[in-house]
Structure 1
Amino acid sequence: MRSPAKTIHPLFPCVIVAIIALAAAACKKEEPVQPSPVWQNTFTPWLENNNQRDTVFDDENITFSTNNTPSDRYIWSWGDGSKSDTTQTHYAIHRFKRIGMNIVKLRVERGNTYGEKTDSIWVKHRNIPHCGFRIDSDDSLYVQNTSHFVANINTEDCQSNCSFGYQWDFGDGSMGTGYHTTHSYRNTGSFLVKVRITRCGGPDTMVQKRIVVSGSSAITAYKCLCTSPRGGNPFLDTIQVQNLPYNPIKVEGGVLRRSGIANRYFGEYNCNLNGCETYTLDVFNTLDSIQYKVVKSWVEYTCLGRKL
């Protein structure tokens, strides 16, 4: 009787291949890992500005050189964001892109040794035209409000290869920076605002402007009872004032002028042949109430009221 044929497992070939691969890997000789070269700073190269000037212009080609000795590599960093790699060439020519102080750095590499040297050079912009400025601000400035100030160019053909710098003095001990800046005054009064404009390669410019800061811009209304000890008929009066408690303005027209007494202001309105409506205004510190005197048709009334 014939024996049945044996069946080979389908994964048997894969197992054989894996065994052969493992055996080959075990017999393979591992390659040694080459260590990274260790850089050593062993010398200081010579560095010379061939123009022999510490100050140059941005339209010049400036030549720098170093020792003319066998070297693998010369790497130049110009201080203006650019670099040069002059392998086997001991000099380099560069036109600087940044106005102002630039630090030139040279790195010389020989094998696994290197040396570094730095030099400084001041770069100016040639033929900078004069630029005039003016200070622009809000038409009306009020205490505790945010006031805007802008240093605008006031001359034609003002050009520069570099940006301007702005240093503000608001006249109350506060400072600011920027072409457009803001400031909030804590007190009323007259202030001399100054801004110094600086730019690379050119002289500084100082501009100033005197401003007046008034009180609050809010309008406050008061309803008052007006009486006269001289027999005039009492009446109710509603008055609206602005800029309390500093330099109040009677909204109906005209300005109430300070009379010399604290928180007292004076103004005349609606003048005709019968005289003027004369207001003498006293502002109370709380601003909740108001007292003033008004003369109408030669009769003086005292008005006292509270905020609506």
Structure 2
Amino acid sequence: MITRIAERLFPSGRGRALPGASAPGDPLAEASDLVVRLGGREVLAGVSLTARAGEVLALVGPNGAGKSTLLAALAADLPADRGTVRVCGRPVAEWPARELALRRAVLPQAAALSFPFTVEDVVRMGRAPWAGTARDDEDDRAVREAMAATEVDGFAARPFSALSGGERARVALARVLAQRTALLLLDEPTAALDLRHQELVLRICRERAAAGDAVVVVLHDLGLAAAYADRAAVLRAGAVAALGAPAAVFTGELLSEVYRQPVEVFAHPRTGAPVVAPIRGS
């Protein structure tokens, strides 16, 4: 069944131009003056940013700030009303779907499946874009390594529908890793996870960046963003309020204003990374 799904989604694999390697710092996803309207409301208002090979870029901000919308626009899952989105230097509208799937992998907030696929089946879906290409012989190894990295190999034969929310989240991430693209777009990958697996997921993000990928990740946990991201974009009301290294942009003044919650920021005593804590009454 997985093979039939791959053939239906990504036909005519032979002869497809395969992506080449990226150099550190290469722009793999770019938004320029991006405007997106949903339901008559302007959700993104002139956003510009670049995700580069070899870095983790965190998108942070309060609910409704536009983080998931920006990620979906970078993935070409939402059209721009104005402005430009490029993946690997090319406007996303010019990429055929099967070619785009070789260059970027997307983890949505929720994963739902109607059929009783096993965990391994779901992870193997990440290999669908490569069917019929010169790299389809990597399928078994890619699936095996992705399941091991996310610690889901111990229940590979279990039905996806029988998993807990956190287990499903890790399986969905394994699918993205198995796709083996140079650009990873992850929407709240730690939302359903316990402390150990939150750290695991962000370590994977760092490892992928160290290997030359560009990772864009939506996070609500500012501590995780500060500890693992090379740069952070702080979004507010559909615009970028600040963009830079977490140590530079995570200030008490800015975050208190953006989140409408008084916070204090101090350096971790061992790592020096910013630690963000709400200011509470006695």
Structure number with the bigger relative contact order (C-alpha 8 A, sep ≥ 6) is 2
Into which bin does the TM-score normalised by the smaller protein fall? under 0.3
TM-score under structure 2 length normalisation: 0.22
- The structure whose Rg is larger is 1
Structure having the higher strand fraction is 1
TM-score under structure 1 length normalisation: 0.20
Structure having the higher helix fraction is 2
